[in-house]
Amino acid sequence: FIGDGSGLLSNLILNLFSIKRAIFLDLPQFLIRQYIVNNEFAEKLEFYTPSNLNSLKTDEYIIINQDSFPELPKKDLDKYTNAKLIKNKSKIYSYNQKPIDDQHSKWNDIIKQNGWDLLSSQQSLSRKKYFIEVYSKVI
């Protein structure tokens, strides 16, 4: 989970699906909240700040993001979606607005430039400016 904020989305997913391992990437103050909300799954969870992301080791990488892709600087989004980190079949699940002005990164272009293919895109029924998108990458 990149930028899960209060941890409610991750808690919903952890309660609904059989997840073997969940990795959280966020600022320290948000990671604390995510740990508290998801404490019952503590043995499955790992927490990383952007500065210690390079110590992450995984073969399959699924990125789940809601609301924060447009706010991430290009260098950070490059770091999270580049081939050095992603080693095998991977997916990105995004629930974000399309870039709307110069204050927001063109996150969807950055993801595509890093070799991800858009598999599906559907406008949200409840938030008209938002899109549920799935990207895939096979290395």
pLDDT value for 88: 65
pLDDT for residue 51: 83
Nearest in space to 91 (alpha carbons), one of 135, 50, 52, 49? 135
DSSP-derived secondary structure for 60-116: SEEEEEES-GGGS-HHHHHHHHSTTT--SSEEEEEEEEPP-STTS--HHHHHHHTTP
pLDDT (tens place) for every residue of the chain, 139 residues total:
988 888 888 999 999 989 888 989 899 999 999 999 999 999 999 998 888 877 777 666 788 888 889 988 888 888 888 766 666 678 899 999 988 777 778 899 999 998 899 999 999 999 889 999 999 986 6
pLDDT at 103: 75
pLDDT value for 90 = 84
* Alpha-carbon 53 to chain mean position: 13
